[in-house]
Chain A
Amino acid sequence: MASSHEEATHPTPATYAKIAVTLGLITAFEVLILYVDALTSFIIPIFIILSTVKFAMVAMFYMHLKFDNKLFTLFFASGVILATFVIFCLMLLFGAIGNGRYGSPEVATEISHTETHSDKAHDSTDKTVTTDSDYDTDASKTNDVVVASTSIIEIGTNGDQLSFDQTKMSAQAGEQVTVSFVNSAGAQQHNWVLVPAGPARLEIATLGMTAATTGWVPDDHRIIAHTNLINPGETGEVSFQVPSEGSYEFVCTFPGHSFTMFGEFEITQ
């Protein structure tokens, strides 16, 4: 029986070198196009295509799949395809594609090495929320809702996921606003509760678990404003005056939802 290396078209060192150069050039190109603003909306397909090309070149030439028995390609391709399938399904199931999740612009702006924000790195499972919101140097670059002159802020859910469709809301200090919450879930009830940032969020949510008769909103003086419990497919509103300063978060206190259904409420001056 034939042994493994019978190919007449075995690559030469020169071929290997050419591939190495190509790989290097593609990588350089990938880095350069990060700086081309015009391409930002196409950047995901561009990167995926380029990295697939690099992957294929290494696999076909360096790993020799192009020239070897197709059984090897079957083994490897099966693994790659299955892994891609699992990744894709999980992302779909978690609603992790776009929409403030993977593939969406991040709230923070350019990498700024001079920020010494953090040496508040906490370890352990305690919450690590720092209350400064000056990470964000330019609020208008976010995909969040910015207060318009009509003072109505809309917020919704990510379909049936236990999360709001925005992770950050903003309002002017002292202003009278109306928060309009659209519950677009198919079967879940939700509410919207404005609380101080930090441990208060989960504390209030825990207290809310016994507040079945008041739409899961406990009687707690820390709560700034809240909607009623909103049925699936319906909208609820609450009007209130935005505090003049401080750090706040919004959360849904339906039992169990507060772990993933919350966001930052920023007060702009």
Chain B
Amino acid sequence: MANITEHMEHETTTGLDHRKLLIWAFLGSECMFFGSLIATYLVYYGQGLPGTPTPVQVLDIPTTSTSTFVLLMSSFMMVMSYNSISKGNVKNFRIWILCTAILGATFLGFQFYEFKEFATHYGLTPRTNLFGTTFFTTTGFHGAHVTVGVIWLMSLFFYSFKGDLTKDHGLMVDIAALYWHFVDVVWIVIFTMIYLIPVGVSS
């Protein structure tokens, strides 16, 4: 979203830019979206038919904690890319944001691997049982949000060659960064509720 308007210096009642208010309101809304998906998962936990793959059997904590680490580090890269652009350093910005996108894509790669393992090794698909349905939907929508994020970041990367992202202390990057961190924070919740706790209480 590299919209550059000519009227960014207008006064606002709060002194805050409209677009920052918009992204925060939107993130508040997204909390409810993921909250409902997670609620569905938690309500249905353990309710599937016996004899079909269960969380403790299929979840691979070592691999998923690696992908969690990857996503957390991507947030660090993101904040560094915003740091660069807000100081006017476009070259460094490009490096950091490319790294962010690459790490994001790596996270997605891990997710594809995990989904494939579940399907081929354990026969677990969304149609197999309740765990399959709720797990794939929740983590799948999170992955879709990461995908949108990667596309957004790459768009900013390419835009930096033609347009001026340094306006307003890099506001456009700031907004993308907020979205990216949000997606990371949702993953922290998912990793804890869906992976760590069920495995933790059962071990």
Contacts and interface: CB of A to CB of B under 8 A. Distances in A.
A123 B126 CA distance: 8
A44 B189 contact: no
A75 B24 contact: yes
23 contacts: A1-B14, A1-B15, A3-B15, A4-B17, A5-B169, A31-B61, A37-B203, A48-B192, A55-B188, A62-B78, A63-B181, A63-B182, A75-B25, A76-B28, A91-B43, A96-B44, A106-B54, A106-B202, A107-B50, A107-B54, A108-B54, A117-B122, A135-B57
Interface of A: 1-5, 13, 16-17, 19-20, 23-24, 27-28, 30-31, 33-35, 37, 40, 43-44, 47-48, 50-51, 54-55, 58-59, 61-63, 69, 71-72, 75-76, 78-80, 82-84, 86-87, 90-91, 94, 96, 100-113, 115, 117-124, 127-133, 135, 167-168, 260, 263-264
B25 to A, nearest CB: 5
Given A5-B86, A106-B46, 14 more contacts: A69-B16, A76-B31, A78-B28, A79-B30, A83-B36, A102-B197, A103-B197, A106-B54, A107-B54, A108-B56, A111-B59, A117-B123, A118-B122, A121-B123
B203 A40 contact: yes
Contact of A76 (B12, B24, B38, B53): B24
Contacts, number: 244
Nearest to A100: B46
B55 to A, nearest CB: 7
A133 B51 contact: yes
B25 A94 contact: no
Given A43-B201, A87-B39, A100-B46, A79 B29 contact: yes
Contact of B32 (A5, A47, A79, A122): A79
B189 A123 contact: no
Nearest to A121: B123
B134 to A, nearest CB: 11
B2 interface: no
Contact of A86 (B35, B119, B177, B198): B35
Interface of B: 11-12, 14-17, 20-21, 24-25, 27-32, 34-36, 38-39, 42-47, 49-62, 65, 68-69, 72-73, 75-76, 78-80, 83, 86, 119, 121-125, 127-129, 168-169, 177-178, 181-182, 184-185, 188-189, 191-192, 196-203
Given A90-B43, A91-B39, A113 B12 contact: no
A122 B45 CA distance: 20
Contacts of A96: 42-45
A118 B52 CA distance: 7
B50 A16 contact: no
B73 A20 contact: yes
